[in-house]
Chains A and B, each alone.
Chain A
Amino acid sequence: MLLELRGVHKRFGAVTALNGVDFHVDSGQVMALVGDNGAGKSTLIKCVAGIHTIDDGDVLWNGEAVSISGPKDAGALGIEVVYQDLALCDNLDVVQNMYLGRELLSTFRRLDEAKMEKRAREVLKELSVTTITSVRQQVAGLSGGQRQSVAVAKAVLWNSKLVILDEPTAALGVAQTRQVLDLVRRLAENGLAVVLVSHNMSDVFEVADQITVLRLGQNVAEFDKDKTTQREVVEAITAGQLSRVPGMHEESIA
């Protein structure tokens, strides 16, 4: 198992955001992390990314106990997070964004543009991102799906082993959602572990191998995608109170 969390607790003052959460994801696998607002999804991924430190519990990386006490620790392990609001600079081009903060240097501490451009092209090609025609165009001119692809490519550029995607399709149209889901699948095929945080059940069922459900800071269920239904997952998210969820009546569920 690449990453395993056991009994993780996180408290913010009087609020317990995570109350003994178990979670795991392995290489070549897409693990979906679902749950209602406030279930603790964001807190959990921020703990893994080193933005929050856990109060209690164990983090195992390749079976060994590790402590992640900052984003640098997470980066050193090979954990990269693609945030919902992308964190790209509109005024920089694709290559510049992918290398932002980790620019390659040549002699006299100059930026090694040729090397960076070459590697950026290679990574986009490995990920079969064919929608970006020029790696030297500004990110401002890209569509939502292209921007998401750049953000993902940026995350895998550093031989990362685990990529966490926070709501990657939330703001995208149909065709672009398609592009991103294909990309998520390809990451797993390339041997990376992928955590997909999403509210969109059809996205989750399309690309995930396994699904972890959080509710009120506890994990309430874990499903194999092939052995469950959307209805079962949604029930787990809402604690069986399906009548409260618009559209989730018996007859509307396949």
Chain B
Amino acid sequence: MSAATAPPPEIQDGAPPTTTVSVAVREWFSRVKDGELGALPIVIGIVVIAIYFQLRNDNFLTAGNFVNLIAQMAAITVIGMGMVFVLLLGEIDLSVGYVSGMGGVIAAVMLRPDGSEFPTWLAIAGGIGVGVGIGLLQGFFVARLGVPSFVVTLAGLLGWNGVVLLVIGDKGTIVIQDKVINGLANDYVSHALAWIVFVASIGAYILQQILTVWRRGQSGLPNQPWILIGARIAAVAAAGIFIIEWADSDRGIPYVGLLMLALFVIWTFVAMRTRFGRHVYAVGGNAEAARRAGISVPGIRLAVFTISGAMGALGGIILASRLSSVDTSTGGGSILLYSIAAAVIGGTSLFGGRGTIRSAVLGAIVIAMIDNGLGLVNVSAGTKYIVTGLVLLGAVTLDSLSRKRSAATGRA
């Protein structure tokens, strides 16, 4: 080393087993200051929106409306989770609206009580299977043939809309009479079951945190201070208890609430803890680097569009469940744009490589709250769209500005 280079700080050899709380807090503040906002803006946004609507109409923050919100956000959340994967690649899937329509319509057709109806599980599998098939087909065009995803899925948007119209035909509406499907969004988890799920989930979460600390300790790596880990567990537990008690003071948590929780855990695990998830981030960050690292870039693209198709179809079944029917407008309207907006408002970048499954949930909460709240204060559909558009623009602007800031401070 020449004398000109300043001695750089070393990687600590005997790194302390835990960092201190003050260090962790300071690091968090400096990250926020440098433009890595994380979930902070959206949590603030949710609080502001809640206060605003509560002031305008004091029915907004009631248990009954809270239960409605869970059911209203479910489809957007589920479709948005698939969208997060697509956006992580830096691609887009414009077809998810009508893919959700296909999922709902196929399931409804298979359940039509004309003497030859299929069992419920088969109808659900059929609906999701169609979504998987569509995802594979569109993914093939994107991944193997190199057609831009914007065009492939735009064609899908038109094409699957057409198929929905043809399948429904001149019947206009298909009413769903299946109890399981309808119960998904319209029946409520019993108090006991809600608590069992809660205890099991928190137990698993605590176990996972302890195992992580233990494993890092075994490898001699520094850990977060116990008090921060404890605070995080306490926060999650408090949120869970609050949700259960609040919802149960009215009808309870709809079954789709459990479904959302399960999907959230599964997809977060896939994104953060598996090789596949890591490769999705890598392809979105630098496809050439991923290719040179031996990752099958077309394979990852194909898999992601398949996930998007499957989640789109599942979202469609949830939508059909809420309305207990499908009709010629199924899958249309604001579904597509709300799903993309949910992921983006939640903090997933449109340019690939950055985002979390959590963002779909947080974004869907914001969108459902605006949709629901504006309904309560009696504004027209026009105003609803304008406000949602402004929130989307605001969220993306905030994201761009914070990224500019993090690029300037070298965090990018």
Contacts and interface: CB of A to CB of B under 8 A. Distances in A.
Given A103-B275, A114-B219, A83 B11 contact: no
A71 B50 CA distance: 56
Given A111-B273, A135-B11, A178 B218 contact: no
Interface in B1-32: 1-2, 4-5, 7-11, 13
A49 to B, nearest CB: 10
B265 to A, nearest CB: 14
Contact of B215 (A114, A174, A182): A114
Interface in B243-279: 273-275, 278-279
Contacts of B10: 130
A133 interface: yes
A121 interface: yes
A124 interface: yes
Contacts of B221: 114, 117-118, 121
Contact of A100 (B273, B282, B353): B282
Nearest to A86: B289
B117 interface: no
Contacts of A71: 294
A110 B293 contact: no
Given A87-B293, A101-B295, A131 B281 contact: no
A249 B313 CA distance: 73
Nearest to A145: B5
Size category of the binding interface on chain B: 35 or more
Contact of B275 (A109, A138, A174): A109
Contact of B274 (A101, A111, A142, A182): A111
Given A71-B294, A121-B11, A90 B412 contact: yes
Interface in B71-109: none
Interface residues of A, number: 41
A91 B284 contact: yes
A91 B289 contact: no
B11 A133 contact: yes
A175 interface: yes
A124 B11 contact: yes
B292 interface: yes
What is the interface of chain B mostly: helix, strand, loop, or mixed? loop
A100 B219 contact: no
Contacts of A100: 278, 282, 289-290, 293, 295
A89 interface: yes
Contact of A110 (B273, B353, B354): B273
B216 interface: yes
B288 interface: yes
B41 interface: no
A154 B2 CA distance: 25
A175 B4 contact: yes
A88 B4 contact: no
B410 interface: yes
A140 B410 CA distance: 7
Contacts of A102: 293-294
Interface string B144-169: 00000000000000000000000000
A36 to B, nearest CB: 26
Contacts of A90: 285-286, 353, 412
A141 B286 contact: no
B102 to A, nearest CB: 32
Interface string A78-100: 00000101111111100010001
A175 B274 contact: no
Interface in A176-230: 178-179, 182
A91 B293 contact: no
Contacts of A89: 281-282, 285-286, 289-290, 353
A96 B215 contact: no
A105 interface: yes
B411 interface: yes
B220 interface: yes
A110 B290 CA distance: 19
B141 to A, nearest CB: 25
A6 B13 CA distance: 45
B319 to A, nearest CB: 33
B411 A140 contact: yes
Nearest to A90: B285
Contacts of B353: 89-91
B11 A115 contact: no
Contacts of B286: 87-91
Contacts of A91: 281, 284-286, 353-354
Contacts of B212: 114
A125 interface: yes
A103 B295 CA distance: 11
B1 A182 contact: yes
A133 B7 CA distance: 12
A132 interface: yes
Contacts of B4: 174-175, 178
Interface string A50-93: 00000000000000000000011000000000010111111110
Ordered nearest first, which 6 A-B pairs have the shortest CB separation?
A101-B293, A140-B412, A89-B285, A91-B285, A91-B353, A87-B289
Interface of A: 71-72, 83, 85-92, 96, 100-103, 105, 109-111, 114-115, 117-118, 121, 124-125, 130-133, 135, 138, 140-142, 174-175, 178-179, 182
25 contacts: A71-B294, A88-B286, A89-B286, A89-B290, A90-B285, A90-B353, A91-B281, A91-B284, A100-B282, A100-B289, A102-B293, A103-B278, A114-B215, A114-B221, A117-B216, A117-B219, A118-B219, A118-B220, A121-B11, A124-B11, A125-B11, A130-B7, A140-B410, A178-B1, A179-B5
